[in-house]
Amino acid sequence: MAIDPGVTLETDLELDRVVAGYGKMTILNETSFRVAKGAITTVIGPNGAGKSTVFKAIFGVLPVRGGTIRFAGRDITNWQPRDLLAAGICFVPQGRNIFPELTVRHNLELGGVTAPRGVDMAARLAAVMERFPVLRRKADVQASTLSGGEQKLLEIGRALLLEPKLLLIDEPSIGLSPLMVKEMFAVLLELRDRGVTILMVEQNAKSALEISDYGLVLELGRMRMQDKARTILEDPRVGQLFLGGGLVEAAG
Amino acid sequence: TAGSAAEPIKIADVIELSGTGATTGTNWRNAAAMAIDEINAKGGILGRQVQMTDYDTQTNPGVSRAQIQKALDGEPYVILGPIFSGSVKANMNLAQQAEIPQFVGAQAEELTHLGDDYLFRANLSQGAGMAKIANYIHDDIKAKSIAVVWVNNDFGKGGHDAILKQMASAGIKIAADISTESGQADFAADVVKAKSANPDAIFVYSNEEESARFLREAKKQGVAVPLVGETTLLGQKVIDLAGDAANGARGHVSLSPDAPIPAVQAFRDNFKKRYDNLPDHAAMQAYMAVYAIKAMTEKLGKVDSKALAAAFHGGTVTPAMEPNVLMDASWDKNGDVDRDSFLAEVVDGKQKIVAVLPRLAK
Amino acid sequence: MTPGVPKPVLEVRDLHKSFGGIGAVNGVSFEVHEGEILGIIGPNGSGKSTLFNCILGQLRPTAGQVTVDGQSVTGMRPCDLNRLGVSRTFQLLQVFPQLSVRENLLLAGQEHKGTMLSRLFGPRDAGLGGASDRMIEFFRLGPVADQKAGGLSYGQQKLLDAAMAFMGGPRLVLLDEPAGGVNLTMLANLRDRLKAINRERKSTFVVIEHNMEFVMALCTRILVLAEGRVIAMGDPETVRRDPDVIEAYLGH
Amino acid sequence: MTGLRRLLAIVLSLGAVAVLIAAPFDLKPYGVYILSLWAVTAIAVIGLNLMIGYAGQVSLAQGAFVGIGAYTTALLTTHGVPWIGALVASGGLSFAIGWLLGYPALRVQHHYLAFVTLAFNTLVGLIFRNEDWLTGGIGGISGIPRPSLLGWSTNPPRSFYLFCFAVLLLVALATWWLIRSPWGRAFVALRENPVRALSLGVDTRRYTLLAFALGSGLGGVAGALYAPLVQFIDPTPFGLGFSLNLLLMVIVGGSGFFLGPFVGTLVAVLLPEWLRFAQGYYLIIYAALVIILLAFCPTGLMGLFGRLTTALRPVPARPAAATLTETVP
Amino acid sequence: MGDLIHLITAGLATGAIYALVAIGFVLLWQTSQTINFAQGQFVMLPAFFVLAAMKQGGLPLWAAVLVGIAASVLLLGVGFKKLIVDPMRRHGVLPLVIATVALGLLLEESTKTLFSAQAEAFPALVPSTTFNVLGAPVSLQDLSIIGFAIVAVVALQLFLTRTTTGRCMQAAAQNPEVARILGIPVERMILLTFVINATLVAIASVLISPIYLAKFSNGGALGVAAFVAAIVGGFNQIRGAIVGGLLLGVVSNLAAAYISAQYRDAIPLILLILVILFRPRGLAGRAEERTV
Ligand SMILES: Nc1ncnc2c1ncn2[C@@H]1O[C@H](COP(=O)(O)OP(=O)(O)OP(=O)(O)O)[C@@H](O)[C@H]1O
Ligand SMILES: Nc1ncnc2c1ncn2[C@@H]1O[C@H](COP(=O)(O)OP(=O)(O)OP(=O)(O)O)[C@@H](O)[C@H]1O
Ligand SMILES: [Mg+2]
Ligand SMILES: [Mg+2]
């Protein structure tokens, strides 16, 4: 699963001096970066750096106070999620995001409510369940009874129903078994190969960067580094600060 | 409490304008207001305008006490209300301390036996009312046993206790003693109970809409024995609400807007014109009380609360003194009022007075 | 490996838990000896969290025995268990959102200090000021120490959750995916800290985790669950090479 | 609470205390009565706030506990027991019953719990009404004496007000201490995340029952003052409506704020009085105002106060973390 | 025996009324996680709209009923949602509960002041003919109420569980943030909830008032009874409303006849407490979700 730096990659998503925060606290302070089309870009950074905040800002969950966000040439700053979905952007937030009292199947179906008429939801649903068999097995139980990992799979599956152009996915590997992480990464790679742009946050950074084309270091709400994933992976200071330099030897 | 001829005479109306007592309280307030407007239009009392202020007790004794206190701070000439015995009990001693006469709609027996010589009734006590009912059941209906259906609240409980006392002394057996809730909607159980006790008559003592609902259910279950009531049951409101289910209901009416007295009927029509609903007995009490006060004050020739209270003890007002007192009424030393009252029966949707019962003291 | 201390700190005997007839834990037995760090791994939905919930009294096991220091604690209330020095973290974030980080920590420790009365009339911080400061210091929560916990980032909450588990100075700690969403560098510190505590206080850990690097580097022994059954148990290397484990969990 | 906010709060409350002590001396008896009513009600509301605002246990039965306290006091004092004795009995009884009423809270929460307590409130009301032999039934109990302590008779309205106010102050101080103690923290834990609290050794059962018992106990204390205030009691005032009204005072004041109950009660007791000029419309206007108030500050008046003071606070510093630019330790 | 049957049929009739009101509670809870303490008053009010339309507007009954429904959809549906629910929804259940308590007071007092403080007779849509069932008189009105309650429940149950819109409504209630992220029009879903509720109460009002009589103060008791019914039946299942309502009606009749008239109101409440303690989800309710 190597990345080919050669391919020509035009910008798909662009943040330009974006300012956002909670209450009076500013978290994103003029954050700017570009995300290449049809590539996987992984954002890393310490806990509390503002990674999720970036995603919330992009997806109109958190009001953007300054700067602009562009997608496929259009200014999408402070758009409503509904319109962003229509524009082909999907968002899988961090943590637990299900409808506890609905069945797994119904949870999944809700991922496709904004799909345009014609599309064959049933088929896509089947495809997703094919991909993650556990969802089929548990299709008719209350979603809240799923295990942590199963719930995450449910969310990931749900995001695939709309066949997005840009997928924002926040720490998808949390709670997934290594096997499932592999599976999930495989899915992402397939999507990329179909030209989908993927912006992902991962704390499980080493494995993530390995399948990524680009890496992006976020810190104190600022973009510190952006480069080929490989380069980031090999940068010693990044290794020390964010990739748990120590861990590697110890485990090695 | 006197004051120069210039300033108006203040009357405080401490009454149930919200809470469970709102309906009668509003009737009372409206009638009083109407009486006072009429009086002022005719030049007031002793040439002074009369000014009434309402104080809402929310049908809550604690609040009623606060409101009486507030009313007294305004130094009124007399106080009207409240109607609920609980509220009266909670606040009467304040009026007494301030030596301001208080005309209440409460019917609980004990109130006038607490040695408060500033408390006056605007209506027959339940004791007096039930005495007349007892005679009626005994003499006219000739019932040996009755079922008593009563609303378990301030108003109904007092009546219940009174009627049981009277029945005991009249030697009439209580076949069934059925307590109901105010605001109750479904009287199936109660009618079933009353029926299965097969009494010679059923005595119904409740609020207007509950009485109406009971009458309807009784009809639904085809109750045959006479349904006897005191005042409320025979009121026009109940008749309207119950429809033809009310026909045949009979009993005693302490005050009736349908009394065969021109003045009373004039009052009823004016009230209907002004408020677009029929006056109930509470309305009549208030109306008559205001005019009684006017009559008595003019007889005294001065506006003096203490003197007024004194004058009402053993005093009598008559239509001769003031046509709008509607009927002769006299108060004894306890402040209990006595008037003529009526036996009535509901005949095709109208209350028909069948007999006038003379005052006990005559 | 563990020093051969005779009596196990935690002993689970043939534990069963089923939901509406469907077994989540089907006869799990194991022992944990003083000073051990036992890792529990297994596919998503294999019953790890349920196992924890049964051990700790959050759920009533359908059948089976749990003993701590030889004393049966089956069906004992979590708070009483905790007072015996058994504490835990949850897989899904479990903090007190409206309380500040510091308050969260004080709360976590206070029931282990003094009596009901001293807690009413005694000092406000129940004499835990120092301890909480040290926790905040170690988990790098200083900058957000006085923020409401609900306003922390995912990783920060995860760390706070872990910190709380240690406030009462427990002898046995059960951690459900402590690494999820935690920055790798912080994770390295966490691992070292756990080892340190384990060495100094002779306290014992049971850790559910999907991050194999972390587990391998931390645990002295690993137990593998699948479909509610133990399919392998042993030292990290053996388990890592076990074909069943690779098949069911790690992937090739 | 930041330093600024605490300072403001303290200054305001001290000022308020001073005013409230001076108030009755230039008020008519009616005004004094309303103030006394405020003080008495505030005690019950403090108790309710302890349950709801801190421990997160919804109770629609506080009115019933005021009733239990009032009846206990009425019965005892009319039979010659000194008020202090009656107070202890009222508080104690309400505490005990509150403790029992807490048990359902161990099984159910939120609206379910609310309805258990609602049912309880109605049941108590029915007992007040139907058990004439004990409670005087609908007739109620009249002629309730006002206490006289060490020769000082509280019969005059002013004295009785000051007496109520003194009790209120004591209650307030005790509560203030309680909520800032680890107990207070444990109560909040019940509200915020009982599952986690339980796993941290917080005996949620004990604290839940305590919250109920303490809150209800304060209801009883309020009752012990209500009876001698009105000097007559019957079942009507202690119905569900009253409990809802007490809840309203908690929310309007700001649930979970120490000063909430004082403000909330003030609004609920005084506002209708101020509005009485509107004659028949005063309740309509009152209800409308409450709705508007909640629409603009759902967190209650203290919540609003909080928002205003935070507006004065400096912007919090952006949380820092290790940086690439700083040299690696 | 005849008595017993009669008590039961009569109880069922009253129970149906409770059920009709209870449906609203359950609906609001399931689709917006709100509790409306003014629901009783909501049912009381439309009757007066109808009366006004007949008296002032001089309309025939059927037209007046349409006017009533329209008015209630406007005021009790759209108005209620926009002016009261929206500002408070985010702040948990309690502020809204209190606001609705105040709203209940507002509606009662306004009705009393603007319409009438007295009970008013209300014209019946269905003739009040009664016929015998096993020797117990049953009126057409009773049947129409039971009928409508059942239809409403079945329809809503299907709508919520079988249609995407219905599920979107539930989703919007259970997790608004995520619903928004998935592009579910949360606001519109909630509005829909309240419009449905408003329509229901209006129809309920028209069906109930001929029996109950139209009175400003009817709401309180009715509301509480319906609440109890909803909880007993199961707060998270529409069908619970029917089960609870009918049970409640019968139980209180039997209690009044055979246990104690004075404590007739106590028996259903004791039932309520028992149900909550031993089957919190309610008799027809669904089990609550996984907590740990
Ligand atoms: N809802 C909130 N209210 C207030 N502050 C918040 C909120 N959410 C996040 N923050 C603050 O914003 C900063 C960035 O949070 P964010 O969730 O973006 O971090 P992150 O990079 O995603 O961290 P992690 O890797 O742990 O998920 C943190 O300091 C956090 O305290
Ligand atoms: N309350 C419940 N009701 C029904 N089924 C449940 C319940 N809790 C857990 N389960 C089922 O039990 C199985 C084990 O769940 P558990 O959470 O223990 O898995 P896990 O090993 O922790 O998985 P993960 O690694 O994803 O956290 C799952 O299939 C889950 O669906
Ligand atoms: Mg994040
Ligand atoms: Mg798990």
pLDDT (tens digit, 9 = 90+) per residue, B53-63?
999 999 999 89
Per-residue model confidence (pLDDT) at position C202: 87
Average pLDDT for residues B169-183, to the nearest whole number? 94
DSSP collapsed to 3 states, B303-359 = CCHHHHHHHHCCCEECCCCCHHHCCCEEECCCCCEEECEEEEEEECCEEEEEEEECC
Per-residue model confidence (pLDDT) at position B5: 57
Per-residue model confidence (pLDDT) at position A250: 36
Helix (H) or strand (E) holding E21: helix E2-32
Q: CATH assignment of C10-99+155-250, given 3.40.50.11540, 3.30.1490.20, 3.20.20.70, 3.40.50.300? A: 3.40.50.300
Residue with the smallest CA separation from ligand 2 atom 8 is A145
Per-residue model confidence (pLDDT) at position E83: 94
Distance from the CA of E233 to the center of ligand 2, in angstroms? 29
- Per-position DSSP letters for B171-196, written without gaps between them: T-EEEEEEEE-TT----HHHHHHHHH
pLDDT tens per residue across span B66-85:
999 999 999 999 999 999 99
Task: State how far residue D208 is from chain C, nearest Cα, in angstroms.
Answer: 14
From the CA of D320, the nearest ligand is 1
∠D16-D21-D23 over CA atoms, to 5°?
Answer: 90
Is this prediction's pTM over 0.90? yes
Residues in B whose CB is inside 8 Å of some CB of E read: 18, 20, 22-23, 26-27, 152, 178-181, 183, 185-186, 188-190, 192-193, 196, 208-209, 212-213, 220-222, 237, 240-241, 243, 277
Per-residue model confidence (pLDDT) at position A157: 95
Residue of E nearest to C54 (CA): E292
Judged by CB atoms closer than 8 Å, whether chains meet at E94 and D296 is answered as no
Q: Which of B61, B73, B152 minimises the CB distance to D30?
A: B73
Q: In chain E, which residues have their Cβ closer than 8 Å to the Cβ of B147?
A: none
Q: Is the pLDDT of residue D317 over 60?
A: no
Judged by CB atoms closer than 8 Å, whether chains meet at E217 and B183 is answered as yes
The two structure tokens encoding residue A216: 């992006």
pLDDT tens per residue across span A205-242:
889 999 999 999 998 888 888 999 999 998 888 888 77
Task: State how far residue E3 is from chain A, nearest Cα, in angstroms.
Answer: 44
Residue with the smallest CA separation from ligand 1 atom 19 is A48
Domain ranges of chain E: 2-218
- Name residue C104's beta-bridge partners: none
User: What gap in Å lies between CA B309 and CA B294, rounded to an integer?
Assistant: 13
Q: Is the pLDDT of residue C227 over 80?
A: yes
Tell which atom from ligand 1 comes closest to the C-alpha of C147.
31
Distance from the CA of A56 to the center of ligand 1, in angstroms? 10
For the beta sheet containing B316-317, the strands, ordered from the edge strand earlier in sequence to the opposite edge, are B316-317, B329-331, B337-339
Confidence class of residue B150 from pLDDT cuts 50, 70 and 90?
very high
Confidence class of residue D315 from pLDDT cuts 50, 70 and 90?
low
B90 Cβ neighbours under 8 A, 6+ residues apart: B61, B62, B64, B65, D142, D230, D231, D232
Q: Which of E6, E211, E262 minimises the CB distance to B152?
A: E262
User: What gap in Å lies between CA D323 and CA B202, rounded to an integer?
Assistant: 91
- Per-position DSSP letters for B125-151, written without gaps between them: -HHHHHHHHHHHIIIII--SEEEEEEE
User: What gap in Å lies between CA A223 and CA A51, rounded to an integer?
Assistant: 10
Per-residue model confidence (pLDDT) at position D328: 33
Judged by CB atoms closer than 8 Å, whether chains meet at E118 and B183 is answered as no
pLDDT tens per residue across span C33-72:
999 999 999 999 999 999 999 999 999 999 999 999 989 9
Task: State how far residue D118 is from chain C, nearest Cα, in angstroms.
Answer: 28
Q: In chain E, which residues have their Cβ closer than 8 Å to the Cβ of C49?
A: 292
Residue with the smallest CA separation from ligand 1 atom 2 is C151
Q: In chain D, which residues have their Cβ closer than 8 Å to the Cβ of C82?
A: 198-201
Tell which atom from ligand 1 comes closest to the C-alpha of A221.
14
Task: State how far residue B245 is from chain D, nearest Cα, in angstroms.
Answer: 31
Distance from the CA of E122 to the center of ligand 3, in angstroms? 61
Q: Is the pLDDT of residue B337 over 70?
A: yes
Confidence class of residue C6 from pLDDT cuts 50, 70 and 90?
low
Q: In chain D, which residues have their Cβ closer than 8 Å to the Cβ of E102?
A: 248, 287-288, 290-291, 294
Is residue E3 within 8 Å of B196, Cβ to Cβ?
Answer: yes
C and B touch with 3+ CB pairs <8 Å, answer no
The two structure tokens encoding residue E5: 């049957």
Per-residue model confidence (pLDDT) at position E289: 64
Residue with the smallest CA separation from ligand 2 atom 5 is A145
Per-residue model confidence (pLDDT) at position A2: 36
- Per-position DSSP letters for D200-230, written without gaps between them: TT--HHHHHHHHHHHHHHHHHHHHHHHHHHH
User: What gap in Å lies between CA D59 and CA D216, rounded to an integer?
Assistant: 9
Tell which atom from ligand 1 comes closest to the C-alpha of A21.
12
Domain ranges of chain C: 10-99+155-250
Rg (CA), chain E: 19
Q: Does A2 touch chain C (CB under 8 A)?
A: no
Q: Name residues 178-197 of chain C within 8 A of E (Cβ).
A: none
Domain ranges of chain D: 28-238
| C245 Cβ below 6 A of ligand 1 | no
User: What gap in Å lies between CA C83 and CA E193, rounded to an integer?
Assistant: 47
- Per-position DSSP letters for D126-154, written without gaps between them: HHHHH-HHHH-GGG-EE-PPPPEETTEE-
Low-confidence ranges of chain E (pLDDT < 50): none
Average pLDDT for residues D24-47, to the nearest whole number? 94
Q: In chain C, which residues have their Cβ closer than 8 Å to the Cβ of E292?
A: 49, 53, 58-59, 90
Q: Which of B188, B209, B220 minimises the CB distance to E213?
A: B209
A200 Cβ neighbours under 8 A, 6+ residues apart: A40, A41, A42, A43, A167, A168, A169, A170, A172, A188, A208, A212
Per-residue model confidence (pLDDT) at position D110: 81
| A21 Cβ below 6 A of ligand 1 | no
Per-residue model confidence (pLDDT) at position A3: 38
> With pLDDT > 90 as the criterion, what percentage of chain C qualifies?
75
Q: In chain B, which residues have their Cβ closer than 8 Å to the Cβ of E7?
A: 188-189, 192
Q: In chain E, which residues have their Cβ closer than 8 Å to the Cβ of C53?
A: 292
DSSP collapsed to 3 states, chain C = CCCCCCCCCEEEEEEEEEECCEEEEEEEEEEECCCCEEEEECCCCCCHHHHHHHHCCCCCCCEEEEEECCEECCCCCHHHHHHCCEEECCCCCCCCCCCEHHHHHHHHHHCCCCCHHHHHHCCCCCCCHHHHHHHHHHCCCHHHCCCEHHHCCHHHHHHHHHHHHHHCCCCEEEEECCCCCCCHHHHHHHHHHHHHHHHHHCCEEEEECCCHHHHHHHCCEEEEEECCEEEEEECHHHHHHCHHHHHHHHCC
Within 13 Å of residue C122, how many CA atoms lie on the same side as its CB? 15
A and B touch with 3+ CB pairs <8 Å, answer no
Residues with CB under 6 A from ligand 2: A 145-150, 175; C 19, 24, 42, 44-50, 91; E 290
The residue that leads in pLDDT, B314 or E281, is: B314
Distance from the CA of A93 to the center of ligand 4, in angstroms? 19
Task: State how far residue B80 is from chain E, nearest Cα, in angstroms.
Answer: 20
pLDDT tens per residue across span E5-48:
889 988 998 999 999 999 998 999 988 888 999 999 999 999 99
Mean per-residue pLDDT of chain A: 89
pLDDT tens per residue across span A46-97:
999 999 999 999 999 999 999 999 999 899 999 999 999 999 999 999 999 9
Residue type, C216: M
Per-residue model confidence (pLDDT) at position D327: 31
Average pLDDT for residues B88-93, to the nearest whole number? 93
Using most ligand atoms within 8 A of CB, pick from C15, C19, C52, C56 the residue to mutate for ligand 2.
C19
Task: State how far residue B187 is from chain D, nearest Cα, in angstroms.
Answer: 19
Distance from the CA of A151 to the center of ligand 4, in angstroms? 10
Per-residue model confidence (pLDDT) at position E177: 93
Helix (H) or strand (E) holding B286: helix B281-300
Q: Does A186 touch chain C (CB under 8 A)?
A: no
Per-residue model confidence (pLDDT) at position E288: 65
| A5 Cβ below 6 A of ligand 1 | no
Q: Is the pLDDT of residue D105 over 90?
A: no
Torsion angle of C-alpha atoms A142, A143, A144, A149, degrees rounded to 10:
140
Distance from the CA of D206 to the center of ligand 1, in angstroms? 35
Confidence class of residue B4 from pLDDT cuts 50, 70 and 90?
low
Q: Does D283 touch chain B (CB under 8 A)?
A: yes
Average pLDDT for residues B337-348, to the nearest whole number? 93
Per-residue model confidence (pLDDT) at position D314: 64
The two structure tokens encoding residue B139: 């003499």
| D319 Cβ below 6 A of ligand 1 | yes
Per-residue model confidence (pLDDT) at position D326: 39
Judged by CB atoms closer than 8 Å, whether chains meet at D234 and B70 is answered as no
Rg (CA), chain A: 18
Mean per-residue pLDDT of chain B: 93
Q: Does C58 touch chain D (CB under 8 A)?
A: yes
pLDDT tens per residue across span A1-59:
333 444 445 788 999 999 999 988 899 999 999 999 999 999 999 999 999 999 999 99
